[in-house]
Amino acid sequence: MFIDWVNNASFILESAGVRLICDPWLDGTIFNSGWKLLSETKLRYEDFGDITHIWLSHEHPDHFSPPNLRSIPEQ
């Protein structure tokens, strides 16, 4: 199994052909612009072509970001 940190609470877990990203908050601010990421995310939305699954642990905006999810290319 391979684990790669993305940002904040987001990781990519890879095993047996599955690439799962959890809690993808990649950019922007949350909590009425009260929180921002401490470092720039290297993963880009175009990189989601290699992701096979997305897992959202819960609905707090630093784990479930609708603007970020809408930015993921459909394919």
Distance, CA of 36 to CA of 54 (rounded, Å): 22
What pLDDT does residue 75 have? 79
pTM: 0.89
Which letter does DSSP use for residue 72 in this model?
Answer: S
Contact 15, 1 (CB under 8 A): yes
- Determine the longest span between alpha carbons in the chain, in angstroms: 39
User: What domain range is 10 assigned to?
Assistant: 2-71
pLDDT along the chain (75 residues), means of 10: 96 98 96 94 96 97 95 90
Which letter does DSSP use for residue 25 in this model?
Answer: -
State the total domains in the chain.
Answer: 1
Amino acid at 71: S
